[in-house]
Amino acid sequence: MKLENFIHNKPFVIAGPCSAESENQVLKTAENIQQNIDVFRAGVWKPRTKPNSFEGVGEKALIWLQKVKEETGLKVITEVATAKHVEHCLEAGIDMLWIGARTTVNPFYVQEIAEALRGTDTPVFVKNPIHPELSLWAGALERLNQKGITNLSAIHRGFFTYESSAFRNEPKWEVPIELKRNFPDLPIICDPSHIAGDRSLIPELSQIAMDLDMRGLMIETHHNPTEAWSDANQQLSPKELYSLLKGLVLRKRDFENDELSIQLNKMRNLIDKLDKKTVDLLSSRTDLVKEIAEFKLKNNLTIFQLKRWFQILEMRKDQAVNLGLDQKMISDIFELIHKYSIITQTKIMKK
């Protein structure tokens, strides 16, 4: 069963609690959301950052997931981190598995899981690793693929950051976009719960995921979220899940209308022209940088002058403010331009 086959122009929705806590909690949540979702999730073994936190009830929750299947007809999914977990899930008839962020980072565990799954066609969803290292995410997918596990999807759940952020995990949307560029046929779904860490941010993140053409959502949902034993702040109630899904705006991927395509292409041509001018300007700027480097060399001056660099940044940021542009965008761009200016000058000074 390929995820692609499930989707008919609507997001593929996986929802359910962060952790399976009791038979009653699992069944009650599943009954309340069954009409609106494709697959029911619940963590059985929970990889918690700190010891002494609730680490999941373990194997006995697999029986509760079997009951969800029987009573609702939903497919069920849970997280596996070891070969033993995989064996228990296969025995219990769990339909799909996900590999968590803390496991994707560890090639030994991914290898062990791949070997335990060999010869099955269980769909496997691979979450991004905790830090934004694309090759580790791609490597885990490749490792599974090499063992013949081809029913693969990715889950984008955001990345740990030391910088202050409104989110528990920074979305860094560019990372899943790059994964998609490398594997165009790989379905990617978004887990806005683990990105947000706060239920109020989940709807807007879900909409961004849809606007970026992600194929689905994994949303933590609990029949009584504030009482949840793990991730209580980021779980939705069944009602909140329903209104989120109802409120999503699903846009089309392409125009069927030729007139609209022509208009869009005209605007894209203008962008192409502006980008060409930008590259031409960067080329002229690099010529000037080289001239300055020759001048510094001849007159025995250091490449880097802190005062001048601060002045450039301040002037460009002021200009950004005057033009109503994002200051951070402009300072990021000039940091990069400056980095390459230093590289160009260093090469000349070494001559």
Could you list the residues that contact ligand PEP (CB under 6 A)?
18, 43, 47, 100-102, 127, 157, 194
In whole angstroms, the minimum distance from the beta carbon of 330 to ligand PEP comes to 33
Closest residue to ligand PEP using C-beta atoms: 100
How far out from the chain centre does Cα 83 lie? 25
Nearest distance from C-beta of residue 197 to ligand PEP, angstroms: 10
CB of 53 to Mn ion, least distance (A): 11
Q: Which residue has the CB atom at the shortest distance from Mn ion?
A: 18
Q: What angle do CA 234, 88, 76 make, to 5 degrees?
A: 45
- Shortest Å, Cβ 107 to ligand PEP: 16
**Which of Mn ion, ligand PEP, none does 127 bind, CB closer than 5 to 8 A by kind?**
ligand PEP
Other Cβ atoms less than 10 A from the Cβ of 82: the count is: 14
Instruction: Please say which residue, 101 or 289, places its beta carbon nearer to ligand PEP.
Output: 101
Q: Where are the alpha helices (DSSP H) in 21-59?
A: 23-33
Site stretch for Mn ion (CB under 5 A), options 22-30, 224-232, 248-256, 266-274: 224-232
Q: Which residues pair with 304 in a beta bridge?
A: none
Return all residues near 272 (Cβ < 8 A) that are at least 6 apart: none
Least CB distance from residue 287 to ligand PEP, whole Å?
A: 48
CB-based burial label for 222 (10 Å; 0-12, 13-18, 19+): buried
Examine residue 81 and tell whether it contacts Mn ion (CB under 5 A): no
Task: Please identify which residue in 231, 237, 241, 244 interacts with Mn ion, judged by CB under 5 A.
Answer: 231
Q: Closer CB to ligand PEP, residue 80 or residue 114? A: 80
**Beta-bridge mates of residue 53:** none
Cα–Cα distance, 214 to 209 (Å, whole number)? 5
Of 46 and 180, which CB lies nearer to Mn ion in the complex structure?
46
Q: Is 153 helix (H, G, I), strand (E, B) or coil?
A: strand
Does 18 interact with Mn ion (rule: CB under 5 A)?
yes
Residue 55 or 240: which CB sits closer to ligand PEP? 55
Judged by beta carbon, residue 3 or residue 228, the one nearer ligand PEP is 228
Minimum distance, C-beta of residue 160 to Mn ion, in the bound complex (Å) = 14
Q: H/E/C letters for each residue in 272-320?
A: HHHHHHHHHHHHHHHHHHHHHHHHHHHCCCCCCCHHHHHHHHHHHHHHH
Structure tokens at 109: 């565990």
Which tokens sit at 51?
């010891």
CB of 97 to Mn ion, least distance (A): 16
CA-to-CA distance for 113 and 83, rounded, in angstroms? 5
Which of residues 117 and 154 has its CB atom nearest to ligand PEP in the complex? Answer: 154
Q: Rule CB under 5 A: which residues touch Mn ion?
A: 18, 231
